[in-house]
Structure 1
Amino acid sequence: MFTSVAGRSVVVTGGSKGIGKGIARVFAAAGANVLIVGRDEDAARAAARELGVSHLAADVAKAEECARIAATAAERHGGVDVLCANAGVFPDKPLAEMTEADIDHVLGVNLKGTILCVQACLPALEASGRGRVILTSSITGPVTGYPGWSHYGASKAGQLGFMRTAAMELAPKGITVNAVLPGNILTEGLVGNGEDYLRGMEAAIPMRRLGAPEDIGNACLFLATDEASYITGHSLVVDGGQILPESQEALALM
């Protein structure tokens, strides 16, 4: 039996929908005091009402907004025990058509936003005595590639580079830094890619199904427990076995 996280303060950025909402749902069900953060005030409020948690509208790409996130968690829940740095964007754009603004937007939210959130929450995480930082990276970038997502892949690979050094620096403070690498998770963004895309992705996964946001939430919950206190600088792939086959022919043999 894992030690309960009930009563702990958990911040989930990008928590108003998709994977972030699934993470927030899992922690809320475990009794944690959850603050979800999203750029859209209405969406964040609606998600918070549905899950029975707290919310804040903020942009993680801005340092002052990240400071406000940490201050709000301290004011409402007494500090920050767990930071789930999940906020991310994944607009599709071929490399030949990508603008500087496109690159800045994706790197600003996905990579810079991750770093800024961790920086802002550091004092509270250290004061917790059991601080946990959990990054939502992806298999795309660190392990695989997908046309149109070169800037996204770069941002997600960059998160893991940040994770490794941050884990070293923060270990003496009792803070662990880990990442989950989702495969194809059934979210609003994925549904927007169309039915053919969904069926194609299912066919490429040995488990023959897309993941649920709560699958990622459960992985995050484990990394937040006392039992995971000796795990840091680790990236956990949660993809139903998607990266295992060496070819489509291998899948056909199953």
Structure 2
Amino acid sequence: MDATLRAVADPTRRAILLLVREQEASAGEIAARFPELSRPAVSQHLRVLGAAGLITVRRVGNRRLYRLRPEGLADAARFLDGMWSARLGRLKRAAEDAVGRTETMTIEQTVWIDAPPGTVWRYLTDPEHLRDWWGEAEFDPRPGGLVRVAMDEGPRPVMRGEVVDLVPDRLVAFTFGWEPTPGAPDLPVGSSLVEVVLAEQNGGTRLTLRHSGLPSRLGGETAGGWLHMLRRLGDATRSVG
């Protein structure tokens, strides 16, 4: 039930459930209704809804069709019905306070790297090259594949996520969170999304990083961390471009 409540707490995911309540829709059709979101972000929302048992997926050829699974809401509905009492007002205020404490934000950074996109791509997806600028890494280059990086600086936190989307030499997107270790930021595994887009520019690469779903309290720390890591990425690739 906790997964269900977390899933429907997000307004975009609630809108997706309404969209597929009466009829099936493909990921592309769903994404078309949310032009402000990237395709990887829509895919991540669908993964959360699927993990919570709120949607079903049916394959038709190469397409995946999504539809509401009403029984997935049953436990949460019974819980909320049971709470419909004089105490509901206090629960509502507590929930609103919690939402206020966990408001999310997106950071975006663009840098130019003196190496071609193919080289930068390898340094983003190959564990041997990830070690040169980020940390000891595991990277399974397929949707749903593991991404895990044990950083070699500070308290040596461990980032864990899974691949959401890949386009060779152009795009990599993965969920992002920290394993619960001493000194690691309080960002649960899978709770945010990182998208990195590469484009050729002036003989090098324009890299745009977008990190969404971040708690506002971690925005400054995370932005500074990415700025530092992207500088290390640039230094690592410059000599081999």
Asked if TM exceeds 0.5, the reply is: no
TM-score when scaled to structure 1?
Answer: 0.28
Question: Which protein has the larger Cα radius of gyration, Structure 1 or Structure 2?
Answer: 2
TM-score when scaled to structure 2?
Answer: 0.29
